[in-house]
Amino acid sequence: MKKIEAIIRTSKFEEIYTCVSGLGVKFLTFYEVKGMGMEHARQQTYRGVAYEPTYIPRTKLEIVTVEELVEPVIDCILKMGKTGEVGDGKIFIYEALEAYRIRNSDTGEIAL
């Protein structure tokens, strides 16, 4: 069982979601995060003072899934999340030891 974490462009979420759900990934969790990286935020001006928000708003995606689906999911994200511009983000893979479905206490892969 693996956990896939991806930091993506918020604007790319829709496409990526459609793609992974196409693979049969019915569940995922995402939330807004702030990123520091190569890309720089658009400059803003207020009363004559220019400033640049230090971070870039991004979306973080979390999918815990079975081994077989890890590759395909990664491909989805790489394909759909790509613009080629600095700022596209990253994917990280982690080991997940166990999963439980709260509704009925299922555990193991059927809980995913």
Partner 1 sequence: MNQEIFTINNLWMMVATILVFIMHLGFASLEAGLTRAKNTVNILFKNTIIPAIGLLTYAFIGFNLMYPGDDFAGSFIGLAGIGITLPEGWDTFAYNEGYTFFTDFIFQAMFAATAATIVSGAVAERVKLGPFIFFSILYVGICYPIVGMWKWGGGFLDSMDIPFYDFAGSTIVHSVGGWAALVGAFLLGPRLGKYTESGMKAIPGHNIPMATIGVFLLWFGWFGFNGGSVLTADPGTVSRVFVTTAIAGASGAFGALIASYLKFKTYDITMVLNGILAGLVGITAGADLMGVGEAAIIGFIGGTLVVFAVVFFDRIKIDDPVGAISVHLIGGIWGTLAVGLFGDLAGMQQVLSQLIGIAVVGAFCFATSWLIFFSMKKTIGIRVDEREELEGLDINEHSMQAYPDFASKN
Ligand X SMILES: Nc1ncnc2c1ncn2[C@@H]1O[C@H](COP(=O)(O)OP(=O)(O)O)[C@@H](O)[C@H]1O
List of residues contacting a copy of itself (CB under 8 A): 2-3, 6-8, 17, 21, 26-38, 55, 58, 60, 62, 64, 74, 77-78, 81-105, 111-112
Judged by CB, which is closer to ligand X: 45, or 104? 104
Least separation in angstroms between CB 84 and partner 1: 15
Q: Are strands 56-65 and 90-95 parallel, antiparallel or unpaired?
A: unpaired
Contact residues for ligand X, defined by CB under 6 A: 7, 27-29, 35-39, 56, 58, 62-65, 86-90, 101, 103, 112
Q: Rounded distance, CA 32 to CA 10, Å?
A: 8
Q: Is 51 an interacting residue with respect to partner 1 (CB under 8 A)?
A: yes
The enclosing H or E element of 5 equals strand 2-8
What is the DSSP-derived secondary structure letter of residue 41?
Answer: P
User: Helix, strand, or coil here: 15?
Assistant: helix
